[in-house]
Structures are given as structure tokens and as C-alpha cells.
């Protein structure tokens, strides 16, 4: 009997932002695997199931175990916050399966359940910052060389993309965001709006709206559950909101009374 492996994105943390598909997959699973913090986000939904909790740096072990459990005939949900296909576990699962010569029609059956990523959830909290083209960059150089990250950040800066930064800093990673800020200041005004959202839609949520010049003054708000959104040349702020105009003013009159 073929098993089933769901790779489930549970969103930012609050159940209001979890999809029906994610709930259904978890409900149908007899086994839950995940990083301990992510498993805790769905603790009230997994009563009576076999649960395997892992530490942060055990991604490979997580992938191997949930594949083997599913191969044995179980229905497994590998849970991740946000979307598992965006800096998540989906890639590692498919890389591992491909290395084993797995057939998509074979055992286990695999299905990705998409979720609301940090870029969506954080944007919704601070206005409409992603109305035009944007780039997403992770500052984590654990798996990607730092010089490659710098090249990507500079390309985004040159292209005037709104930039969403994941994993901006950690206890061991201090210089990365600082260096990125200095790079961006070569291409953007110091007054460029910046939003720092920590723990979006969780009880610990905090939001800071600042600018590129003052971003470093809010280092206490940065960490692995923080997301930084940096505006482009058109982005502006209005009453604690960040607005990135789509371009309608060039074609339409938005306020006829003006």
C-alpha cells in the first residue's frame, strides 16, 4: 500500500491564515513531522497522532524520516510555517526523492499544500508594498555563498525592485544586513521606506516602519522570524503604512474632487 506525504505550509502562525487544504491534510494524516516551533503552531490540531519534533538544523533528518514513514504506508504531514516551496522543505524532499530514483506516480505519493508566505503576510500588515515587481532575498549564507547573495542584492538594487529580505540576521549573522544596507544606499535614497515585521500574526508580533538611513537603529527587531521590506524609488509612507503605487495615476484620475 502506497503511503502519502503532504508537505504542508501552515502560514504565518495564526489559524485564520491557514488554508482549508492545510487543515484537511493534517486531519487526514496519522503522522506529523516538523521543526518543533512549527509543530507547536498546529498543536491543537494533532491530538492522537504520532508526532516527530526536530531541532532547527536537522532538515536532512526530517526529510529522510518523513519519506521513510510515508514509504511504509503512513499518511504523513511535514509541516512548515509559511509556504514550504519558498525557502522551505519542498526542495529538500524532492532532491532526496530524486536521488533515490523515485517515480512521481510511485510510493510515496507526494503533494505540496501551499501556504501564506512571510512576504504575503508581512505585506498585508504594513499596507501595499508589493504592488510592482519585487525580489525576495535570504540573508542566510549557510547554504548559499555570501558573494552570490551580494550579487543578487545588487542586481535587485540596480533594477529598482522592492526587496523582501528573509532571515535578515541571527546571533551569528550580524554583518549581512548591514552590508546589504550599505550596498542599497549606493542606489537608493536614505529616506527610502523600510518595514521590519517580526513574528507576523503571532502573539509576539511587532512592526517598525522606518527608512534606509535609520534601519540599523532597530536591530533588536531583527531575527530569524523577522522580515524586512525595502521600498523602491516610488514607494512612500502614509499614516504608518507603506504604499507602492501600481501606476494608476498615470492613466486615471483617482480623486475627481481634487
Condensed to tens digits (0 to 9), the pLDDT of residues 175-191 reads 899 999 999 999 999 99
Residue bearing the bigger pLDDT, 195 or 57 = 195
The Cα 254–Cα 51 span in angstroms is 53
Assign a CATH topology to domain 4-116.
Cobalt-precorrin-4 Transmethylase; domain 1 (3.40.1010)
Condensed to tens digits (0 to 9), the pLDDT of residues 105-120 reads 999 999 999 999 999 9
Peptide bond into 108 cis (omega under 30): yes
Residues of the chain with CATH 3.30.950.10: 119-243
Residues of the chain with CATH 3.40.1010.10: 4-116
The Cα 234–Cα 132 span in angstroms is 10
Q: What 3-state class would DSSP assign to 36? A: helix
**Strands 109-113 and 4-9, sheet pairing:** parallel
Assign domain 119-243 one CATH number from 3.40.190.10, 3.30.950.10, 3.40.350.10, 1.20.140.10: 3.30.950.10
Indicate the pTM of the whole model: 0.90
Amino acid at each position: 500500500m502506497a503511503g502519502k506525504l503532504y508537505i504542508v505550509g501552515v502560514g504565518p502562525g495564526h489559524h485564520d491564515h491557514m488554508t482549508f487544504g492545510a487543515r484537511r491534510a493534517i486531519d487526514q494524516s496519522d503522522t506529523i513531522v516538523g521543526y518543533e516551533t512549527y509543530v507547536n503552531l498546529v498543536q491543537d490540531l494533532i491530538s492522537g497522532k504520532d508526532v516527530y519534533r526536530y531541532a532547527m538544523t536537522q532538515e536532512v533528518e526530517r526529510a529522510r524520516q518523513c519519506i521513510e514513514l510515508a514509504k511504509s504506508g503512513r499518511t504523513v504531514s511535514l509541516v512548515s510555517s509559511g509556504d514550504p516551496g519558498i525557502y522551505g522543505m519542498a526542495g529538500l524532499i524532492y532532491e532526496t526523492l530524486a536521488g533515490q530514483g523515485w517515480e512521481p506516480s510511485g510510493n510515496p505519493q507526494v503533494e505540496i499544500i501551499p501556504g501564506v508566505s512571510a512576504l504575503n503576510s508581512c505585506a498585508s500588515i504594513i499596507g501595499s508594498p508589493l504592488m510592482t515587481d519585487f525580489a525576495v532575498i535570504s540573508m542566510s549564507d549557510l547554504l548559499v555563498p555570501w558573494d552570490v547573495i551580494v550579487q543578487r542584492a545588487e542586481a535587485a538594487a540596480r533594477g529598482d525592485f522592492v526587496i523582501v529580505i528573509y532571515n535578515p540576521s541571527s546571533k551569528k549573522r550580524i554583518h549581512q544586513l548591514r552590508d546589504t544596507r550599505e550596498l542599497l544606499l549606493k542606489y537608493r535614497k536614505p529616506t527610502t521606506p523600510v518595514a521590519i515585521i517580526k513574528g507576523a500574526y503571532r502573539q509576539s508580533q511587532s512592526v517598525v516602519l522606518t527608512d534606509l538611513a535609520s534601519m540599523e537603529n532597530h536591530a533588536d527587531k531583527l531575527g530569524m522570524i523577522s522580515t524586512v521590506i525595502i521600498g523602491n524609488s516610488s514607494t512612500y509612507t502614509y499614516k504608518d503604512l507603506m504604499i507602492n503605487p501600481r501606476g494608476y495615476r498615470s492613466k486615471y484620475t483617482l480623486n475627481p474632487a481634487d
